[in-house]
Structure 1
Amino acid sequence: MKPMAQNLFKSLVSQYRAIIDYPFGILDDELYVLAASDESAVGKYMGELENLIRKDDHIILNRNIAYQPIYIKGKLEFIVYLENTGESSIKLLNILSIAFLNLKKVQDEKLDKTNFIKHLLQDSILPSDIYVKAKELRISTDTKRVVYIVKVSPENAENVYDILYSMYPSKDVDFLVNMDEETIVLVKEMPDSFTQKDIDKVAKTIDNMISSEIMCTSKIGIGSPVDTVREIATSYKEAKIAIEVSKVFDTERDIISYENLGIGRLIYQLPTTLCKKFLDEVFKKDSLEELDDDTINTIHKFFDNSLNISETARKLFIHRNTLVYRLDKIQKNTGLDLREFDDAIIFKIAMMVKKYLSANVIKF
C-alpha cells in the first residue's frame, strides 16, 4: 500500500475513532496494520490470519475480532477489523469497510488522473487518444492551465512534494506529478481573468513555502498558459526550457518564466556551430578573449545603465574621461563602438553567445 493511501486511511480512522467504542483498523494485503484506532498497533503483523482467509468468506471471526477482507477485481486489497463480534458490531464493520473502500476508489481515481497527466507530459499518449482519455477521467479538456516545474535536490524532494500536495490537494483541478527524483510538476488551473502577475504569484508562493518550511533552495520554471488539455505538454516543455536557459544566462534567479527569457531563449535554440561562426565573424583574431575582467565589468555596467556614459562613470567611481578612454580601447580591439546602439546590440548578443558556448551545450 502506498504511503499516500496509508495517510488517507489514518485520517479516516481518526474521524471514526470518536464515535466507535471498540478498537478497529485496517490491514494491507500482506497482513500488516496500516491504520488503527490504537496507534500502537500500526505496523503490527497479523500472521495468524494467513490460514484463516478464504476468498469466499465475507466475515472472519477469530478471538473476538471480526475481519472483513476487501477484494478488488479478485485481488485482496485490504482487511478491515473490529474487536467485537456482536451483531451490531458486524453491521458497524460493514459500514467501516464501505467507507475504506470508497476512500480507496477515490484515491485510485486520483492516481489514474495523475498517471494520465504524467504520460501527457512525456508525450506518450497518441494525440487522438488525449481527449477520449481525459473525458473518461472527467478531466476538463478546455481549461486554462499553466505548468510549473519545481527542481529540488533529491534528498528534499519527498518533503517538497508533501508541501505542494498540502497546497494543491485537489486532483480534479490541479495536478501534481513526480517526474523523477528531483523534479515535481504542478499543472495549475487558472481563472479566466488571470494575468502574468497571478502566474508569477503561484511560483513565488511555492518558492517561499519551500524556503520557509524546508529551508532549501529550488528552481521553478514556468511555461506559457495554454487553453486545452492537449497543450499541457507544450507548457511543460517551455517550463523545462526556462530552467535550462536560466542555467546559462540567469543562474541567480530562482523563478524563471518562459515568456520572460528574452533573447536568451533564441540563442539557446541555435546550433552551436552557427554560434561559433557568429563569434568568429564579430570578433576577429580572438579580440574578445583579450578583454580583461575590469574591461568586461565596465561593459556590463555600461549596458546596465542604458549606454549612459555619465551614469556609468558615477557607478564605477571613475572620471567620465576614463570611461571614454576605455570605450575607445574596446572599439580599437573589437571594432565595435559600444556608444552606438547597433554595435552595442551586436556586442551584447555576442557576449551571451559566448556564455552559451562556454556552458558546453552541444547542438548541431
Structure 2
Amino acid sequence: MSLCDTLQNILKYEMGLYDLNGNLKEGKDVGLKNDEFTYIKLGEDILAIKGKLSRDACNLIEFYYNSFYKKEAADTLQPLEHILKNDVPNESLVGKFINKSVMYIMCPLKCVDILKSIYEGCKVDLVEDEEGFYIVKEVENFEEEAQSIIDELKQEGFSNILIGCGRAVKGSYTIKNSAVHAKISCFLAKNLGYNEGLFHIDKMILYGIISESDASKIDFYLNGGYDGFYYVYKDKELINTAEVLFRCHLNISEASRRLYLHRNTLLYRVEKIKNLTGLDIKKFEEAMVFKTVIAIFNLKGK
C-alpha cells in the first residue's frame, strides 16, 4: 500500500504526493493551489491534503513519511539476509536474483564453517537463522547438490540433515518465495517423520495443503472409513514396508531386495495392510490414498 493510500485510510482526506515541479507521484491529483488544503514538504516532495490539519498532525505525517520510506529503502537495498528474514513486499523483489534458487539446510549452526568450505570460491550466499542455513545460488541439479552437502556433513560427524528447496526465481516468483518454500519443505518433511534427505517444494505441495487444511474438514472425509489405519500407523514394520515399496515405484521384487525379505513375506505384509485399511498398495491410485492418509496422521498428530 502506498503512502497516500495509508494516510487517506487514516485521515479520510483525499491527497496527492507531488515532486517539486508539481508532477503527481502517487495518490489523487487534488491540485496544489487551494486555501482549504494542507501542504506539507516531505523531503523532495510535497504532500497536498484536501482538508485542514493541525501542526501536530503534520508533524506526525512527517515522522510517518520518514519511517515509511526508510523501510521501503531497507526492503530494496538491504542485503539478502534482510530480505530472507523480514517481511519484505514481494513486488519490490520482482526482477531480482533471477534464476537463483534457495535451499534451506536444517542442521546444527556449528556446521557453518563446513558449509563455507564446501562453497569456497563459488558464487553463493549463505544466510544463517535459528534452525539452519539458507543457501542461495543457481542450482542445476538439486539432488546432486543436496547429496553432496549431506555426505560432507556426515563425514564431519553430523547426521539427520534435512534440505528443503524452493523453485528458481522468474516472473513474479521471487527469492523470498523460494526461501519460504525451501524452509516449509524442510519442516513438512520433519513433521512427516523424515530425518534426512532432499525435499523440493514441487513434491511437497500435497503435504503443504494438508498441513494448512481445516482439521474438521479432514475429519469429515475420514469419518467412518479407514478404521484400521490407526493399527497400520502404529506398526513401524508395516509402515516401513509401505515406504520402501513406494520408493521402489511399487516394484515388489526390488522392495523385497531392499528390505532383505522373501517376496512372499512382503506380499503377506501388503495383504495385511489391505485387510486393515481396504487399500491394495500394489495399485498406484490406492497407494496414493494410503500415502495421503498416513501424511494426514503425521501432520495432524493423529
CA distance in 2, matches of 1:165, 1:296: 38
CA distance in 2, matches of 1:310, 1:158: 42
**In the alignment, residue 191 of structure 2 is paired with which amino acid?**
V
Segments ≥4 residues shifted beyond 6 Å? 308-315
Counterparts of 1:28-39 in structure 2, within 5 Å, are: none
TM-score by length of 1: 0.48
What residue in structure 1 maps to residue 80 of structure 2? Answer: 117
Cα 1:119–1:158 shift into 2, 3 Å: same
Which of 150, 153, 156 is equivalent to 2:105? 150
Which of 247, 250, 262 is equivalent to 1:317? 262
Shift of 1:279: 2.9
Which of 267, 276, 279 is equivalent to 2:222? 279
CA distance in 1, matches of 2:274, 2:86: 49
Q: Rg: which structure is higher?
A: 1
Shift of 1:349: 2.0
Cα 1:145–1:282 shift into 2, 3 Å: same
CA offsets 1:282-328 (integer angstroms, 9 cap, x no match): 32xx32234473555565566566556787788642648x946972x
What residue in structure 2 maps to residue 215 of structure 1? Answer: 157
Shift of 1:243: 0.4
Task: Determine if the alignment matches structure 1 residue 174 to structure 2 residue 157.
Answer: no
What residue in structure 2 maps to residue 248 of structure 1? Answer: 191
Work out whether residues 280 and 287 of structure 2, in 8 Å CA contact, stay in contact via their aligned partners in 1.
yes
What residue in structure 1 maps to residue 9 of structure 2? Answer: none
What residue in structure 2 maps to residue 60 of structure 1? Answer: none
Which of 287, 292, 296 is equivalent to 1:349? 292
Which consecutive unaligned segments of at least 5 residues does structure 1 have? 1-111, 132-139
**In the alignment, residue 118 of structure 1 is paired with which amino acid?**
E
Q: CA RMSD in A?
A: 4.0
What secondary structure does 2:188 align onto?
Answer: helix
What secondary structure does 1:149 align onto?
Answer: strand
Work out whether residues 178 and 185 of structure 1, in 8 Å CA contact, stay in contact via their aligned partners in 2.
yes
CA offsets 1:237-277 (integer angstroms, 9 cap, x no match): 11011101211336143332222336434433433333333
Shift of 1:153: 1.5
Cα 1:167–1:229 shift into 2, 3 Å: farther
For this pair of structures, how many residues does the alignment match? Answer: 223
Cα 1:339–1:219 shift into 2, 3 Å: closer
What secondary structure does 2:129 align onto?
Answer: strand
CA distance in 2, matches of 1:205, 1:325: 35
What residue in structure 1 maps to residue 33 of structure 2? Answer: none
Cα 1:114–1:255 shift into 2, 3 Å: farther
What residue in structure 2 maps to residue 159 of structure 1? Answer: 113
Cα 1:113–1:179 shift into 2, 3 Å: farther
Work out whether residues 176 and 187 of structure 1, in 8 Å CA contact, stay in contact via their aligned partners in 2.
yes
Counterparts of 1:1-364 in structure 2, within 5 Å, are: 115-127=78-90, 129-130=92-93, 141=96, 143-154=98-109, 156-160=110-114, 162-163=116-117, 166-168=120-122, 174-180=124-130, 182-188=131-137, 190=138, 195=140, 197=141, 199-212=142-155, 214-217=156-159, 218-227=161-170, 231-249=174-192, 251-261=194-204, 263-283=206-226, 286-291=227-232, 293=235, 296=239, 299-300=242-243, 303=246, 316-317=261-262, 319=264, 323=267, 327=271, 330-338=273-281, 341-358=284-301
Which consecutive unaligned segments of at least 5 residues does structure 2 have? 1-74
What secondary structure does 1:289 align onto?
Answer: helix
